[in-house]
Amino acid sequence: MTITITPAASERMRRFLAQSPDAAGVRFGVKRTGCSGFGYVVDLAQSLGEGDRLISIDGVPLVVDDKSLPLVDGTVIDFQKQGLNASFVFHNPNATGECGCGESFTVG
């Protein structure tokens, strides 16, 4: 399994983790949502659940559940600022389509 975190995303995740030192890591996965089928989840993982995998990427503990893993394998996570907006951006080779707003994706 390969997930890549850009330096900008890594810095942002480290800031979140520094504010919650008891967190197990940053949760990255997907959930069914949106007009295209799946939406990304990025949040602090307070603990590890059954089926969670803890992966260290450049020193950032990333928690990915087994159901999300095949859908996010190969994804590059970036963090971008545009004007007053800032957000994580995902480059997922498994996505075969995205909705117009980029909030959800489909897989083939």
Q: Flag whether 49 is in a domain.
A: yes
Q: Flag whether 10 is in a domain.
A: yes
Q: Flag whether 66 is in a domain.
A: yes
| pLDDT > 90 in the chain, percent | 64
State pLDDT tens for residues 10-51: 999 999 999 999 999 999 999 887 666 888 899 999 999 999
CATH number (domain holding residue 71): 2.60.300.12
Structure tokens at 32: 């069914």
Q: Is 63 helix (H, G, I), strand (E, B) or coil?
A: strand
Give pTM, 2 decimals.
0.86
Q: Flag whether 73 is in a domain.
A: yes
Q: Please give the tally of structural domains in the chain.
A: 1
Q: Flag whether 107 is in a domain.
A: no
Q: Flag whether 84 is in a domain.
A: yes
Q: Flag whether 106 is in a domain.
A: no
**Cβ burial, residue 60 (10 Å; 0-12/13-18/19+):** buried
How confident is the model over 74-97, as a mean pLDDT?
89
Q: Domain containing 35: what range? A: 4-95
Of the ranges 49-58, 81-90, 99-108, the best mean pLDDT one? 49-58
How confident is the model over 90-96, as a mean pLDDT?
85
In 3-state terms, the chain is what percent helix, strand and coil (to 5)? 15, 50, 35
- Which residues contact residue 26 at a Cβ distance below 8 angstroms, ignoring those fewer than 6 apart? 13, 16, 17, 42, 43, 44, 45, 60, 61, 62, 63
Q: Flag whether 108 is in a domain.
A: no
Sequence letter at residue 81: K
